[in-house]
Chains A and B, each alone.
Chain A
Amino acid sequence: MTEDEWEPKILVFCCNWCSYAGADLAGVARLQMPTHFRVLRVMCSGRFKPEYAFKAMEQGIDGVFVLGCHIGDCHYLEGNHRAKKRFEVLEDMMVHLGVEPGRIKIDWVSASEGVRFQAVITEFVAHIKELGPSPLGGGR
């Protein structure tokens, strides 16, 4: 694959209660955004663990985005606290490894924030495009 043809592959973990609902709302409002992301629904952002990011990036996924409820709004009270903490460590790992930490990101989108979903996705996709193919994915 040449640079020109490259299109980023982005994995987005969404929690069922807020961010997935926010993503749906963006759809209901017909908010347009880049196509390059794929949502993987989990019940809570607390289901995320950094090991998934390793596996995703190892296999050539260019960016991993975790979206949960705003802090304080988690359907399960504190799942997003754990996700956030795990993410802090993950980000540090990326720095020491020499991978742009911007390839992974955690953010919050509530069920009523379709517009915010559109905004954070558009920005993340643009950022990954700027970074280019993941240096971790073998074969590239």
Chain B
Amino acid sequence: MRHDEEPRIGVFVCHCGSNIGGWLDVPAVAEYAGTLPYVVHSEDNLYTCAEDGLAAIRKAIKEQDLNRVIVASCTPRTHEPLFQATCEEAGLNRYLFEFVNIRDQCSWIHMSEWDAATEKAKELVRMGVAKATRLVPLDRSTAPVELVAMVLGGGITGMTAARAIANSGFEVYLVERRSVLGGLLNRLHKIWPTEESPRQLLDGLEADLEANERVHILTGTEMVDLKGFVGNFDVTLMPVEGNGDGLDLKVGTIIVATGADEMKPDGLYGYGEVEGVVTELELETMLREGNLPEIGNAVFIQCTGARGQRVTYCSRVCCMTGIKNAMELRELYPEASINVLYRDIMAYGISYEELYQRARVKGVGFIRHPKEEPPRVETGPDGKVRVTYRDVILGRDIVQDVDLVVLSTPLVQHEDAKELAQMLRVPLGQDRFFFEAHVKLRPIDFASDGIFLAGTAHGPKDIEESIVQALGAASRSLTFLKAGQVLSEPIVAVVDEDSCIGCGNCIEVCPYGAIELKEGGKRGQVAEVNPGLCKGCGTCPGACPSSSIQQLGFTDEQILAMITALANGGD
């Protein structure tokens, strides 16, 4: 194999137009690279990532018989795959490529220090060469994908995702811990802007799901254990009530659509203490069941518990819910005075702003109060609720005795989300909602492959947004199911069975349970890494007292060589 040969390293230093070349001496860095051990070729390019730059790499690999390639340029986070692919095209294993970051972490942050920045770039290249010298070819492995998906949560989001997956021809298990599908929608009165009953929406979906033999609906069921990895998850499901039999499933992908709850604002604005103070969902239930008292006047208090009061975030849907329900009351009781007390109205997008305007025209009052002076709610005379609020425009306190106070509270994560997160090995953010892999680039993925996120489990969203994300998650899931196999990065841990004593330290620190003991080695037991489970974090080598476990691509030998190259200026 090539890596047994003496290293022949090619170094390509990029000007990035003037992004690098304008702030440090790129030709000098390339020239310096040429003096380093095992470097047989070095050049500077205007844009190494442009086609002529890539051609130069391919050419040098062929003509100079390079067996290692280094590009010193922007950042591996955006360009490493491109250069790796270029190496591959020229017949070089993509893991014999090493990236040196001299733009984002050098030229751009040292713009007035030409000499020092040049010196730093040289040292970074020297470290890169030290590592490259010790690179070995690695193979990405493939594993088959179980052609079944599981959706956790049977609300509108989960139902939508399950239907999309089944319609694409794959089997899907829809797991809901309550006894019925539909989630929060079951508790709504009407859906805006269409003014449909949520039942219409749910019934249609439910009928589709029931008619599709690829869909397995499991209500009253929850996940109690999860093992495995993308393409090969082992799931254990159990009935929520009683002690019926569990069900073991093998699934390839998982969609987390477990939804959210409405915050119960105990202790805020008299909730739970003063008769006649309810939340939006409680109001919707009354509307649905038609048991509202006669209403002469009502007040809505927006942002209850949100935006710094109990939780920090804006819950996104409560403004529209408040406006919707205020309109509803307006229509039911045309004579009544309906006021919405708000800090800011977030009627974002196209249709919501229009609805907001419509509500104003129809005579719903909107009264703004500053954050520091929230309304006060107490028991009033004659079974009424007394609300005192500051009207900033009038500049004085207003006291009103009303029949109903409706609190617009935020959606919050379920109390026990942490358990689920731990089972799934995915993170919750600071606000306790599930946390995506990247807020902009990977908004539906989790960092753990094969697990996707949709709906209000991710944060407050309206129905439309939840459905969009459900379809996105279904499509992300289908990407894996259709491919039928997964490629894995080979930067996994490997064990030296001659020196491992099976102490198990590595097993205990592995966050993915990727290591087990097996028989063998000098002490009768050695660690064994399941490369399918290993995510390549490299935590285990730090726990091994004898360096018997190493992370490929980040071995002790490679890291030490970089440290030595930095310290001593070479081997």
Contact = CB atoms under 8 A, between A and B. Distances in A.
A40 B558 CA distance: 11
A89 B288 CA distance: 62
Contact of B554 (A11, A43, A118): A43
A33 interface: yes
Q: Name which of A9, A11, A49, A73 has the most chain B CB atoms within 10 A of its CB.
A: A49
A104 interface: no
Contact of A47 (B104, B109, B117, B554): B554
Interface in A29-84: 30-33, 35, 38-44, 46-49, 52, 55-56, 59-61, 72-79, 82-83
Contacts of A27: 75, 103-106, 108-109
A10 B113 CA distance: 17
A20 B554 CA distance: 15
Interface in B95-121: 101, 103-106, 108-113, 116-117, 119-120
Interface residues on B, range: 35 or more
A55 B123 CA distance: 18
A40 B101 CA distance: 10
A30 B539 contact: no
Nearest to B118: A35
A49 B542 CA distance: 5
A49 B127 CA distance: 19
Interface string B525-551: 000000000011111011100000001
A110 to B, nearest CB: 11
Interface stretch (B3-11, B307-315, B479-487, B561-569): B561-569
Contact of A61 (B112, B116, B566): B566
B530 to A, nearest CB: 16
Nearest to A59: B567
Interface in B454-509: 491, 509
A44 B538 contact: yes
A79 B447 CA distance: 14
Contact of A41 (B76, B512, B568): B76
Nearest to B19: A27
Interface string B218-254: 0000000000000000000000000000000000000
B127 A31 contact: no
A128 interface: no
B53 interface: no
B537 A44 contact: yes
Contact of A31 (B109, B438, B536): B109
Nearest to A49: B542
B559 interface: yes
B316 interface: no
Contact of A46 (B105, B538, B563, B568): B538
Contacts of A17: 447
Nearest to A48: B542
Given A42-B538, A44-B539, A61 B104 contact: no
B120 A61 contact: no
Contacts of A32: 109-112
A83 B101 CA distance: 24
A20 B345 CA distance: 38
A46 B539 contact: yes
A127 B101 CA distance: 25
B77 interface: yes
Contact of B542 (A55, A82, A118): A82
A33 to B, nearest CB: 5
Contacts of A48: 542
A61 B554 contact: no
Contact of A33 (B109, B447, B554): B109
Interface of A: 9, 11, 16-17, 20-21, 23-24, 26-28, 30-33, 35, 38-44, 46-49, 52, 55-56, 59-61, 72-79, 82-83, 86, 111-112, 118, 137
14 contacts: A26-B104, A28-B104, A30-B109, A30-B111, A33-B109, A35-B117, A40-B562, A43-B551, A46-B539, A47-B541, A52-B559, A52-B560, A61-B563, A73-B435
- Closest CB pairs A-B (n = 8): A46-B539, A27-B104, A47-B538, A59-B567, A76-B537, A49-B542, A27-B108, A24-B104
Given A47-B559, A78-B539, A111-B438, 11 more contacts: A11-B563, A17-B447, A27-B109, A33-B110, A35-B110, A35-B113, A44-B539, A49-B542, A52-B560, A74-B427, A76-B537
Interface of B: 75-77, 101, 103-106, 108-113, 116-117, 119-120, 123-124, 127, 425, 427, 430, 435, 438-439, 447, 491, 509, 511-512, 535-539, 541-543, 551, 554, 559-560, 562-564, 566-568
